[in-house]
Chains A and B, each alone.
Chain A
Amino acid sequence: MKIAIKSLLAASLVMVSTSLLATDDAGFSLGNNFEEVTGEALYHAICQGCHMPNAQGAKGAGMYPALAGNPKLGAAPYVIFMVSNGMGGMPALKQYLSDEQIAEVVNYTRSHFGNHFTDVVNADDVKTIAQR
């Protein structure tokens, strides 16, 4: 099967090498919850499984949306909601993550991969939206 791969920008290629290094060194979580702490570590342990190491998304019978340069990430509450509660095929991740971890990974994704959203979210914002 042929998978269409979106062409990568030169700038993002640089990031691939650093992100792969990060996962190489990462151990796995022991127990049922994610133990990664930083947004970067969490992205590369969870999100890149579907959205890919460079956040470029992927296409098969369906698709995974690119998070790179994605204007939808402008609305922080939307991103928090998606990570916490899921939507469609995307699983709710709040069962595995603390509010702090969700805030970290949301902030990381909104400020990397060509996204430059400067408003930062915190655990309290997550708490309101995740509705545990």
Chain B
Amino acid sequence: MYQAMTSLGFAAESSQPGVLKLDGVKKGATVLVLGAGLAGMTSAYELRKAGYKVKILEFNGKAGGRCWTLRGGDSYTELGGATQQCKFADGNYINPGPWRVPYHHHHVMSYINEFNIAIEPFIQVNYNALVHNTKAFNGKPQRYREVQADYQGYTAELLGKVLNQHGLDETLTHEDREKLFESLRHWGALTDKADYKKSYEVSLRRGFAIPPGGGLSPKPEPSELLDRSALLQSELWKYIVNGQDIEFQSSIFQPVGGMDNIAKAFEKRVGDLIEYHAKVTQINQSDKGVTVNYEQQGVAKTAQADWCVCTIPLSILSQIPVQASSGMQAAIRSLPYAASVKVGLEFKRRFWEQDEAIYGGVSYTNLPITNISYPSTKFCDKGKGVLLGAYVWGANAFEFTSLAPEERVKKAVEYGKQIHPQYAEEFDNGIAVGWHRVPWTQGCYGLWTEEKRAEHYENLCQVDGRLVLAGEHASNLPAWQEGAISSAHDAIKRLHHKAVSTAA
């Protein structure tokens, strides 16, 4: 699924944030921001700094939107009414939404810097984590590093054979064939004759049967290779490229203690502008300004401003009457929202570290849970530990969402047990978020296709009269916080330009 997401445009690298020069704000000019997620709070923060009078309307009782962390003591009520109490021990958490900040997400990184938000490395690739296919190796999970080394070694060996059999004589010059042969031996840890076989050198890649030790400890013993055919048929090679995608390349970070520390840092700066529990019911505009109707604790209210930045997810906005061009209206209604589910599981101890020396990183499986991600924080802690026990997209995400929350947790434990038998003994409690049941988004993120983008994206992003939209849905980085923040920067720059060039 990651590969599929990458091909949908996830891989685009965000541009460096320039300095927002919002000069020459007209005295008394007002902006109404709808939604206090990262796009909304970024807009409010920057617009107020520039001199606008800003107000934010937020549906929830707190800021952050999808930038969200669940900790012990939190209560979460999903659509349908099911309420979960998070029972995690103090300091443990899951981020149901975004959980990583790649180093090249420059807009997010610049606010992390500006607000002094503490971050730590997020371990994406762990060579000692597991890759698992129920239909391969009798369902026994394999070590990432063994699959990685053997796949690379066998591939290098086979390509070396092709060279020796003159299969590339037509394609490469003699000099290039020689260099390629040399590089294959280097890349695949092959012998001088370009064989990939059990050896000390190969075990330096894939690990030893008996690892080297000190003094009179047993002599190091190289490990056996996986069978080549079994490895190819296992399809486990699918999982060893994820870390090579630019979004997952080192360095990746996470805020210490939970992703919502980013939301809280914004809230600290713009919280005084936010009206909470405000459910937007209608957005109207004229050549004089914008009027937004909303409900607050059952009372109908109205807010007015000269301009409006609307960051409400399109899954919700498409249900609200919006006065805008037909092009923008069509764009708002064009975007379905992805199904996605995360399940956080707390265990009595960090058995993955204590029993298996897995410190952070991700194990991959063809089971419906898709992967297990181990916490990249509090290593070697002796208390309870929380891992991400399911991170699901596609068909299985719909199936997980359809279950009651406690059933989702039960299923995640049931499946995870096939990878870590310790689950049976050590499981303590869990919490599950199905994004289509999240009351403020009704889905995970805007699911663009190339066709839809060609037809609607420009219309969606226009300053339409006195209204502009922002959020991950108005970006080429869907689902990422970088998309939300960079879209906000772009939207308010254009809105400001129109504001200063519009008479009165």
B-contacting residues of A (Cβ < 8 Å)?
1-3, 5, 20, 23-24, 26, 28-34, 44-50, 52-53, 58-64, 86-92, 96
Contacts and interface: CB of A to CB of B under 8 A. Distances in A.
A86 B402 contact: no
Contacts of B403: 23
22 contacts: A1-B61, A1-B77, A3-B79, A5-B80, A28-B368, A28-B400, A30-B368, A31-B395, A32-B395, A34-B398, A44-B402, A45-B399, A46-B399, A49-B339, A58-B80, A60-B439, A61-B440, A89-B316, A89-B318, A89-B319, A91-B337, A96-B395
Contact of B442 (A29, A34, A45, A64): A64
Contact of A46 (B314, B335, B402, B439): B402
B336 A91 contact: yes
Interface string B386-402: 00000000111011111
A46 B396 CA distance: 9
Contact of A62 (B316, B335, B437): B316
Interface string B75-118: 00111110000000000000000000000000000000000000
Nearest to B435: A49
Contacts of B480: none
B394 A32 contact: yes
Nearest to A36: B399
Interface residues of B, number: 46
A91 B442 contact: no
B396 A52 contact: no
B312 interface: yes
Query: Which 10 pairs, one residue from A and one from B, show the smallest C-beta to C-beta distance?
Result: A60-B439, A89-B315, A49-B401, A91-B336, A58-B79, A62-B316, A88-B318, A28-B368, A49-B402, A62-B319
Contacts of A26: 399
Contacts of B315: 62, 88-89
Given A28-B368, A62-B318, 9 more contacts: A1-B61, A32-B394, A34-B398, A50-B437, A58-B79, A60-B440, A64-B442, A86-B336, A89-B315
B252 interface: no
B319 A63 contact: yes
B119 interface: no
A90 B338 CA distance: 9
B95 to A, nearest CB: 19
Nearest to A26: B399
A41 B446 CA distance: 27
A49 B444 CA distance: 13
Given A3-B80, A62-B319, A49 B436 contact: yes
Contacts of A46: 398-399, 402
Interface string B348-391: 00000000000000000010100000000000000000000000
Contacts of A1: 60-61, 77, 439
A88 B319 contact: yes
A46 B397 CA distance: 9
B404 interface: yes
User: Most chain-A Cβ atoms within 10 A of its Cβ — which of B79, B336, B443?
Assistant: B79
A54 to B, nearest CB: 9
Contacts of A23: 402-403, 407
B279 interface: yes
B276 to A, nearest CB: 10
A41 to B, nearest CB: 10
Interface string B48-88: 00000000000111000000000000000111110000000
B317 to A, nearest CB: 8
B447 interface: yes
Contacts of B336: 86, 88-92
A105 to B, nearest CB: 12
User: Most chain-A Cβ atoms within 10 A of its Cβ — which of B77, B78, B333, B398?
Assistant: B398
B434 interface: yes
B350 to A, nearest CB: 27
Contact of B338 (A3, A58, A91): A91
A88 B333 CA distance: 4
A62 B403 CA distance: 21
B398 A45 contact: yes
Given A3-B80, A49-B437, A91-B337, A61 B59 contact: yes
A8 B238 CA distance: 47
Contacts of A28: 368, 396, 399-400, 411
A111 B434 CA distance: 28
Contacts of A90: 336
Contacts of A96: 394-395, 398
B220 to A, nearest CB: 40
A34 B402 contact: no
Contact of A49 (B77, B81, B338, B434): B434
A91 B445 CA distance: 11
Contacts of A32: 394-395
B146 to A, nearest CB: 24
B443 to A, nearest CB: 6
B394 A24 contact: no
Contacts of A29: 368, 395-396, 399
